[in-house]
Structure 1
Amino acid sequence: MLKKILLGLAVVIVALCGFIATRPSTYSVQRSATFKAPPDIAFALVNDFHQWGGWLPWGALDPSQKTTFEGAPMGVGARYGWSGNDEVGEGRMLIEESKPNELVRIQLEFIRPFASTSRTTFTFKPAAEGVQVTWEMSGEDDFMGKAFCLVVDRDAMLGKDFDKGLAAMKTLAEAEAGKRAEAAKLAAEKAAAPVEAPPAAEGGQAVAAPTP
């Protein structure tokens, strides 16, 4: 009886391994949101790693995590690293490609709790209301990655965080757009304001404005 159970278990394991091996070896998760803001404002929030703390969805999981900034201050060559508790793990990012107001492509490397490498891409497209921002993560799965996705819906898991991050980015971008619009309005009002005439001198003669 024991031999039959072990044989049956072996058949199941072999069949499961065969099924896992047939699963897709690549993956892609993406979400989009539209901001009422110019493309350059949204682009700046991604192209500069120093700005990520304001919208990155995983930051609150470990407020005491350590972060590092190396390489270029922003754009191609900029590097960002983090190390925290088990929820955020450890990893690093490198901006590999940056097209102003159009695209930021990043190499993303996880060190723990599991080692993997993927590519993260942000694209910015003009929209009727301002700009559409798309956040995508793509990569390749090894056998363990394929097995993991049998029990975890990666699209739902990461997609939820992407939506949260985009919502936070939207708030920041639209707030900055509002400040910019208000500053432009004040400048226009100042430029359109009538020039006050110089006060009249005694006898009805106007006092000439002093020469600079």
Structure 2
Amino acid sequence: MLKKILVGLAAVILLFAGVVATRPDTFTYQRSAVLPVSADIAFALVNDFHRWTEWSPWDGLDPQQKRTYSGPKTGTGADYAWAGNDQVGEGRMTITDSKVNEQVTIRLEFIKPFAAVNTTTFTLSSVEGGTQVVWAMSGENNFVSKAMGLFMDMDAMIGKDFEKGLASMKEVAVVDAKKRAEAEAALLAEAKARAEAAAAAAPAGDAAPAVAAPAVP
């Protein structure tokens, strides 16, 4: 009897392994959103890891998590490492390629609770209404991840986080755009006031010198 049970168990395990083996060897999960801002504003939120705390869907899962930044502040070579509770785990991100206002490519390394190395990309393009941001993550499926895929919809799980992050990014980008517009308006008003003051102080018949509005970075 025991022998029959063991033989049956072995058959089930082999069948399960065979099904798992048929799963795709690679994966790609992605979501997109249109941000009503110029590409440079959206790009700045992705190209600087220091700003990820403002919109990342995982940032608030562990208020006590440790963050370490190294390398350049922005762009290629910028590095960010984190370590926290079971919800955020431990890992590292490094920007491997950065094309201004177009794309940011990141090497994403998970250390805990499981080890994996994936590639994350943010692709930006101008569209009607603003800038489309496509957030994608791709990598290889090992046996464990293939098996997990039989019981969980990984695209839905990860996609939900991407959607949440893009929605938060949109809110932050809108605030940044508003701040820029206010700063530009303030500088123009200041330039106009200076020009009017210069015109009022000039002797009758003399033309007041033109005053150029300072540039806004």
Partner of 1:104 in structure 2?
104
How far is 1:192 from its partner? 5.4
List per-residue Cα deviations over 1:86-131 (Å, max 9, x = no partner): 1110000110000000000000000000000000000110011110
How far is 1:4 from its partner? 2.2
How far is 1:191 from its partner? 4.9
Matches of 1:128 and 1:174, distance apart in 2: 16
How far is 1:189 from its partner? 4.8
* 1:61 partnered with 2:52: no
Give the SS at the match of 1:85: coil
Partner of 2:93 in structure 1?
93
Partner of 2:73 in structure 1?
73
How far is 1:142 from its partner? 0.9
Give the SS at the match of 1:28: strand
How far is 1:6 from its partner? 2.1
How far is 1:152 from its partner? 1.5
Give the SS at the match of 2:196: coil
Matches of 1:188 and 1:35, distance apart in 2: 26
The AA in structure 2 aligned to 1:158 is: I
The AA in structure 2 aligned to 1:177 is: A
List per-residue Cα deviations over 1:121-164 (Å, max 9, x = no partner): 00110011110001000000111111111111110111111011
Partner of 1:180 in structure 2?
180
Matches of 1:129 and 1:48, distance apart in 2: 24
Give the SS at the match of 1:195: helix
The AA in structure 1 aligned to 2:135 is: W
Partner of 1:29 in structure 2?
29
In the TM superposition, 1:33-48 aligns within 5 A as: 33-48=33-48
Of 145-154 and 177-186, deviating more is: 177-186
Normalised TM-score (structure 1): 0.89
Matches of 1:21 and 1:92, distance apart in 2: 29
Partner of 1:124 in structure 2?
124
User: How many residues are paired up?
Assistant: 206
Which structure 1 residue ranges, 5 or more long, are not aligned?
Answer: 200-204
Partner of 1:202 in structure 2?
none
Give the SS at the match of 1:11: helix
The AA in structure 2 aligned to 1:78 is: A
| CA spacing shift, 1:124–1:198, aligned 2, 3 Å | closer
How far is 1:182 from its partner? 2.7
The AA in structure 1 aligned to 2:196 is: V
Which structure 2 residue ranges, 5 or more long, are not aligned?
Answer: 207-217
